[in-house]
Every structure is written in C-alpha cells, then in structure tokens.
Chains A and B, each alone.
Chain A
Amino acid sequence: MQEKNISANNFEQCQKCSLCETVCPVMANNPEYGGPKRSGPDGERYRLKNGIFYDDSLKYCLNCKRCEVACPSGVRIADLIQQARIDFNRRPPKLRDMMLASTDQMGPVASAFAPIVNFSLGLAPVKGLLDVTIGLDHRRTLPKYSSETFVRWFNKHAAASQDSFRKHVSYYHGCYANYNYPQLAKDFVAVMNAFGYGVHLIERERCCGVAKIANGMIEAATRDAKINMAAFRKSISAGRDIITVSTTCTMTLLEEYPELLKVDNGDVKAHINLVEQFLYKAIASGEVKPVWKEGWKARAAYHCPCHQERLGLGIFTTELLKMIPGMELIELESNCCGIAGTYGFKKENFKVSQMIGRPLFDEIAAVAPEFVACECETCKWQIEMSTGVAVKNPVSILADALDLQKTSELNSL
C-alpha cells in the first residue's frame, strides 16, 4: 500500500464522474468550450506530457467555480484551468484586457474625469468605437465612475471619528466601492459605526487581483497580493480583523492567493471576514443589537453570486436579511448571471454571457421583486442591465432597514 491513500496530485482525485459538466454554465452555451473536466483534470495529464496539448479554449472558462462546488472529489477544477492559463498561455494580454484588469490603475484616472468619462462611455458612438477598436462589447452598459472616491470621502468626513469607538475593524473596500460605487462603502461605514465598530482603511490597499489573474497579468497580481498581505498582517497585529464586502475579492484573498499566486495566507485567513458573516454572527451571539426601522417593508429576491457559492457563505447573507422584520426574501435558483467580472465585457463573450444569464433573468422576471439582493458588484451590473430590476447589496439594505441612530445608541452603551 501507498504512504498516502489519496493522491497528493489534486487533479488525480478526479473520478471522471462528470458532475462538473452538468453545472458548467459555459459548456451548456458555448460548444467551443470543452468543459471543466476536459479543460481541468483531463487536460492536466496531457499538458504534463507536452505543453502542445494546452488548448486555447480554456480562455472560455469564466472561473465561476461552480464545477468546484459540484465536485464530489474536491478537485480544484477552476484553479487547474486558471493555472494552465497562467503557465501555458504565452500571448501577452491585449490592451483591452489590461484596461479591464487594471481596476486600480484605471480607477483614479476615470474618477478624476468622472463626468466626462461617464458621459462618453454612455454615448453610442463611443461604445461603437470601443467595440471596433478594442473589443469591448457595445451592447454592454459600462459601469459609472464616481467623481469622489470612497477613500477621499472617508479621509475628509469619517476618518477622524473612528478612533472614538470601543471596537475596531479594518475595511477592505475593493476597487468597485472605491471608484464606482462609494455609496456602498459609505453604507458599510454607517452600519459598522452604528453597531459600535470603528472602521479603518487597509494601509496601501491594492486591488485583490482577480481581474489581473483572469487576464494573464500574474506578476502584477502577485505584487499587489504581497502588499495586501503585509497590510493585513499589520492590521491583525493591531487587533483589527479584516472585513470585506465583495465576495469575489474575498474568494481571491482567501483561495486564489495561495493556490494561484503562491502567496501564503495561512496566518491571515481566519481573520478575513465577509461582512454578512461577521454581522450575522455578531447579532446572533448578542454581541451587537440591531434596532430596525418601524414599518420598513420589502419584497426582495436573493441571488447568490457564484463566488459566494464557492465560499459557501451565502447562508449568512440570507439569514441576516431574514432577521429584518418586514423582509420577504425569495431565494432564487442557483444560477450564474453570466458576466463573471471582466468576461462579459469582452465582445467575443457577450452573447454567451447573456445566454448563461437567461435562466436567472427569466426567474427574476417571474418573481418580480422590488429589488434583487446580491453581494456581488458585477452580478449587479449584469442583472440591472438585463432585467431592469435594481440590485442592492445586503449592506445597503441593512443601512436602509436599520434605525441607525437608535442602533448606535443601543450599541454604544
């Protein structure tokens, strides 16, 4: 018998049961894509034999990780595919991909000229030009930039008061909340402050790197990862856990750093908390007490983002939202919305992206909620564009449903 009963080579644990293929949203919609089993564990054997067997169709994987959730053998299928793309795809990233991936380089520029950028990006001729020149699909509604970033706002209006709280957390806001939608981050600060937590920024926060990984910019992603990890360690040693709001950033920090970027996070992992998980636990244990607005009512549908499915933390979101009196929460079927970060922005993926999202869009139309509750920013873009139904982050829903004043008073006692 062998020393270890189960292969140390993760891809060899695949039993070829093909369950992953039944959940892959791309395979069902793009015949060019071989699917997770073939691109992942099957392909890995042949790539180990000879790099010539790297197949270009791996680019169609949108890294939703549903295959990994489905796999009964614990094979990190999507990671195998991402890793193969890193190892074998020798084509330099296109200008478009670099622009899409460099969220924290594009962000400051776009924010500085936000009114012009937003206006221009909304114009049909500009979108047509971007489509033709760099392959950004013209049918896509492009995210807006905010003229004042969250960080600027925070330093101006909130930073000074944070030390006065008894308890403290560090906030990893991510690029989206900083450049595109500071209101989410402001809501976060308001909710955390109301529950008695002082909020602090991570020193020199960098983009988590998910878009860079997806677009083959591994060195840049690794550099950023190391900076983030150093900042996290500093924060943790000061007694502040890290709170995140974006599910994709969270998955990247927790899973992709060690697996794909080979940046160790073993000592930090337990201190990174998704906000819904953190708040649910705090409320359920009595650590903090919410006071809800009288007569607040909503009928919402919850869409669980793919990366939340992978993290397995969606239950905290639904249970947290159900704590709100007056909340009627309908949990949608588990489906991918199709955008997968930068994937759906690319011209070559637009059609497949919309086909993948179709079952979700149809269900939302049938349920006809007031709004969709969802933790993910790119799901928000996709669902709002494709259904016309507003998507709210659970943190913003809490900020709305909580009586912040009374909550604050109750928790500062």
Chain B
Amino acid sequence: MPINNEFDVIIVGGGITGAGTARDCAMRGLKVLLIERHDIATGATGRNHGLLHSGARYALKDSESAEECIRENKILRSIASNCIEDTGGLFITLPEDADSGFGLDYQTKFIDACIKAGIDAQAISPEEAREKEPSVNPSLIGAVVVPDGSVDPFRLCAANVTDAAMHGAKILVYTEFLDFIREGDTILGVKVLDTRTGLKAEYRAPVTVNAAGIWGHGVAAKAGIHIGMYPAKGALLVFGHRVNNVVINRCRKSADGDILVPGDSVTVIGTTSTKVPFEECDNMEVTPEEVSLLLREGCALCPSLASTRILRAYAGVRPLVADDSDPSGRSISRGIVCLDHETRDGVKGFVSITGGKLMTYRLMAELATDAVCRKLGENKLCETAETPLPGSVDGRIETVSKRFEGKVSLGQKSAAGRQGDLVGKLRFDSEADRQLVCECENVTLAEIKYAVAELGVTSLMDLRRRTRVGMGTCQGTLCIRKAAKALAAALGDPSLEGKLAADYLDERWKGMRAVGWGDTLREMEFMQRVYKYEKPYSYDEI
C-alpha cells in the first residue's frame, strides 16, 4: 500500500466547506490534499435552494447568523460574481399570515431586526411588489425588499476546488475515507479507497480536517469522537423555467416551502425539514407528501406554480448540530461549529468544521484554516475575502461573452454565463465544437471538452454539475447519448458510452418519478420509448 507523506493538511469532504477550506489552506501556502468519495458538491452543497441569503430570514431569531450572512453575502458578490446573481429578494406578507400572528406588526419587527443586523430591508407597497415581481401572489398585503440573490452551488464549489488546485492542492475525487491512521492520541493521516479502481492508499499529514457535512458524524466516529449531528432532510422541487426573477420568501416564522429562488434557467421551491436516520442520508427519496406540501406552500408565494411544469424533485440533508431538546430542528441556530478535537476530546491533529450553511462556507473555511494554522504554527492571514475566485474576476455574461471573436453564439453566451472569465479556455476550432450537444441548456461540444479536460469529469453527473448538460426540460432524453459519446471518447474508452448514459438516465428518472404527471409524465414516456424501445407487436400478430 502506497504511503504518501507530502501534505500539511488533509481535508475530508468535497462539498463547499471542504472546497473552501482547501482553497484557504492552499492560499496560505499549505500543502493540501482534499478527498471526496463521490464528485465535488454531491451532498448538501448540491442539494439546496441556491439561495444567496441576505440573512433576513435569521434576523429575528438568530442575529449572529443574520450578521454572518449579510457579511458573507457582500463578500460573495465581490469574489464570486460568476456564481451569483443579484436578483434581490422579497419577504411577502399574505392575508392568512396576518390571521396567524405574522401580519404587518411582525413585518415591522422583522425590518427592525434586519436593520440591526446590517441588512438593508425596506418595506414596499403591494403594488410595488407586484411591479417588481409580477409572479408574486397578488393578494399580498405587504412586502419587504432585501438583498437576497441566487448562487450556483456547483459552480461555487468547482471554483473553490479549481483555485485550490491552482494553488497546488491535490484533489482526489471518488476517494472514500475509510479510517484514520492513528498513533495513541494523535491522528497521523487517513486510509482511503479509490472507489473506481478499488485500490486502497494511505495519506499522512499533521492535521486532518473533517468537512464531510452530515457524513462527518461517521468520520468523527472513526476517531472515537461523538459529534451530535442532526440529519434534517430538505426536499425541493425544480420548475421548468424562470417563473420569478426575484427571490420570494414568506415573512413569517420559518416553515416548509416558503422560499422560491430563481436559479439559472429554472426556479426552485423549498424546503421541508424532516428528521431522518443517518442510514437514509445516502439515498434520499422525495415523498408524495413532501411534493404536495411544497406545491401548496409554493402556490401561496406564486400562484402560477399550480400550472407550471415541474422538472424534478430532489432532497438534501442539512448537517445541523443537534440540539436534543428541540425535535423539529427549526429553532436550531444554523451557526458554525469548528471543533478542535485536541481541546474538546483529547485527539491531536484533528479538526471538524460543521454546522453553518452554504452562505457562510467561506467564513467556515477561514475558521477551519485558522485552526489548522494554529496547529501547524503558521500565521499567514486569510485572503479569501478579497481574492476573486477563478471565473469571477469579471463574471458578467455581457462582458465575458465579448471575448469571442465575431458573432457570439447562444452556446458561447451560455458558456460565458457558466464558466465566467475562464470561458476563454474553450476551443471552438471546428464546426463540431460549435454544435450544441444539450439544446435545452445550450451546451456546446467545446464546453464539454473543456470540462472533461480541465474540470475533472469522469461521469455524466460530474459533467452536468459543471456544464448543466441534461438539466433542462428533457432531462437528458435528447442529448445524453451525444454527451456520453463525447465523454467516452475523451476518457479514451468509446465502449463506456452506453453505461455512462444509462447511469445518468437512472439518476434523472429518480428525480422525475416524484413529479411524474402531466408534461413530465409525457417526457418520461418519451424517454422510455427512446431508450427502452421494444417493438410492441408485429403485424403478423394483428
């Protein structure tokens, strides 16, 4: 078994927290290894709203979280311009909210709390709200404008990983943490399994960071440490197009299905909150009850959702640190928990970073990196709040798409939106490179080739996270063979084509099944016909 000792820090988990920590550590000059058992952003990072919180949601009950949010909100706007969209947000009050104690008095308290937390919150009239966001429930009685936005978590995570790698970090995806290498009370490194080759390996570093989200519970357990985590499942629905262009929240105590976020070419409603056993965290299914609940609440925010096509449903698990006294999980602070296990548990060389949320990943990474540096005796300062991420040096579609020569095609504009200022790396050398592979999301062959060559893609799911291939209306029905062929060729094994496509469609099917009616059911039928076609009868039989 190979043993590698060249690292200062090993980070377990390729979600946004691990990616951010890898970037921060690498920028501070540490030799970093990041291990992730699947692809990056496959856990909670890729399974949420993609809401760029203003913090307003937490203003009344958790001012600390609210302040963290608005600070990080401002930072992300400047360092991750390619990953965020400044949609603005509304907190609306509906007539029925007034009946349940969340009327305009509550709105006043809400605005005061926001302003106290440093969040620019302004009440506007129902008419102004309808003008600002025409899809909003027209019966609203009040609205507050807040600096919410949307963030693409895949893109944000990938940008952090890319930057970490550019600063020398080694990134190992599809590499599963098996156990620690331990000597007495000191963690010396990790034993891992390459899930694709089946080969085991060991890596050593003076510090290991547990950034495995909800799975961090299990990682810590391998060190004999208990972190009381609370797996709270959150289900979401993806609608077929941008229904709203401004985030719509409900101005009341947090409840199920009260946030509607426009992200990229779709709109997402979420979320629910259900306690689930740890065993279920790897395989989330959205239940019919969750779908009904999200639809009911979603329609209260935006009535047209009742007649908008739903592409799919998905669910993630929030890595909350449990408070045993509250069974619902709602009143838990989404605060950051950074544990130095030497002081907490007497285990040296081991740090856990958990709790928190997508919005505060950078701050979490900073805290974790500070802890790592303390252990290593380093005292370099954190620069992640000032340094733009790759792709976001100038991330606006309008400016980035000007980088192409001549007339800019739809595929190029879309790629500019996704890859930001890195889009210059796409090579449009031939007519084939210009061709769209995925027509719903305008993904060209050039973008696929770029993602495969530079962004560490080995499956179509990986490719989807980096390019949106197959994420549109047809959910891959029309494009996935083309994408599979391109990917198989790039991977050097054309025979993989069928398997790559089948794996992808299985995963899409799962999300579609939960909302399998109407247009989506027709799409599923069509997908079946295209991929599982069997001649139903022969003329002789009739």
Contact = CB atoms under 8 A, between A and B. Distances in A.
Interface of A: 1-9, 11-18, 34, 37-38, 41-46, 48-50, 52-53, 55-56, 73
Given A6-B518, A17-B526, A1 B397 contact: no
Contacts of B309: 7, 9, 12-13
A3 B296 CA distance: 10
B310 A2 contact: yes
B474 A12 contact: no
Interface in B317-347: none
B308 interface: yes
A7 B295 CA distance: 14
Interface string B253-278: 00000000000110000000000000
A15 B519 contact: yes
A13 B414 CA distance: 23
B236 to A, nearest CB: 16
A4 B477 CA distance: 24
B240 A48 contact: no
A55 B240 CA distance: 21
Contacts of A56: 407
Contacts of A55: 409-410
Given A12-B473, A48-B242, A1 B478 contact: no
Nearest to B397: A52
Given A7-B240, A7-B309, A16-B473, 10 more contacts: A2-B518, A3-B307, A12-B519, A15-B526, A16-B478, A38-B410, A42-B439, A45-B241, A46-B414, A48-B242
A92 B25 CA distance: 55
Q: Identify the 4 closest CB pairs spanning chains A and B, nearest first.
A: A8-B307, A16-B474, A3-B306, A12-B309
B283 to A, nearest CB: 24
Interface in B265-316: 265, 292, 295, 299, 304, 306-310
B88 interface: no
Nearest to A7: B309
Contacts of A9: 240-241, 307-309
A15 B517 CA distance: 13
Given A12-B309, A46-B410, A37 B240 contact: no
Contacts of A48: 241-242, 265
Given A2-B310, A8-B308, A18 B414 contact: no
B439 A37 contact: yes
B413 A52 contact: yes
Contacts of A4: 306-307, 518
A38 B436 contact: yes
A8 B307 CA distance: 5
B265 A45 contact: yes
Interface in B50-76: none
B345 to A, nearest CB: 48
- Residue among A1, A5, A37, A45 with max Cβ neighbours from chain B (10 Å): A45
Given A1-B517, A4-B306, A16-B478, A45 B398 contact: no
10 contacts: A2-B307, A4-B306, A7-B519, A11-B241, A12-B240, A17-B526, A18-B478, A46-B410, A46-B414, A52-B413
Interface string B203-227: 0000000000000000000000000
Contacts of B382: none
Contacts of B409: 55
Contacts of A44: 241
A9 B440 CA distance: 16
B265 A49 contact: yes
B410 A2 contact: no
Nearest to A73: B522
B202 interface: no
A404 to B, nearest CB: 53
A42 B411 CA distance: 12
A6 B519 contact: yes
A317 B409 CA distance: 43
A2 B397 contact: no
Contact of B397 (A5, A15, A18, A50): A50
Interface in B485-542: 517-519, 522-523, 526
A137 B107 CA distance: 65
A13 B241 CA distance: 12
B523 A15 contact: yes
A53 B474 contact: no
B402 to A, nearest CB: 11
B410 to A, nearest CB: 5
B442 interface: yes
Contacts of A46: 265, 410, 414, 442
A49 B472 CA distance: 13
B240 A45 contact: yes
Nearest to A42: B439
Contacts of B474: 15-16
A44 B478 CA distance: 18
A277 B98 CA distance: 59
B517 A8 contact: no
A41 B526 CA distance: 17
A27 to B, nearest CB: 13
Nearest to B479: A16
A52 B398 contact: yes
Contacts of A38: 410, 436, 439
B407 A12 contact: no
Contacts of B517: 1-2, 5
Contacts of B292: 1
A8 B304 contact: yes
Given A1-B292, A16-B439, A16-B477, A7 B307 contact: yes
A15 B304 CA distance: 20
B517 to A, nearest CB: 6
Nearest to A14: B473
Contacts of B519: 6-7, 12-13, 15
A52 to B, nearest CB: 6
Nearest to A21: B439
A11 B243 CA distance: 13
A99 to B, nearest CB: 27
B291 to A, nearest CB: 8
B305 to A, nearest CB: 8
Given A15-B474, A16-B477, A53 B240 contact: no
A7 B518 CA distance: 8
B518 A45 contact: no
Contacts of A45: 240-242, 265, 440, 472-473
Contacts of B299: 3
A272 B468 CA distance: 47
Contacts of A12: 240-241, 308-309, 473, 519
Interface in B435-491: 436, 439-440, 442, 472-474, 477-478
A48 B401 CA distance: 18
A34 B414 CA distance: 15
Contacts of A15: 474, 519, 522-523, 526
Contacts of B439: 16, 37-38, 42
A37 B436 CA distance: 13
Contacts of B401: 52
A42 B468 CA distance: 14
B411 to A, nearest CB: 10
Nearest to A17: B526
B26 to A, nearest CB: 33
A15 B440 CA distance: 11
Contacts of B397: 50, 52
Contacts of B472: 42, 45
Contact of A49 (B264, B306, B308, B436): B264
A73 B398 CA distance: 34
Contacts of A50: 397, 417
A15 B528 CA distance: 13
A53 B306 CA distance: 27
Contacts of A3: 299, 306-307
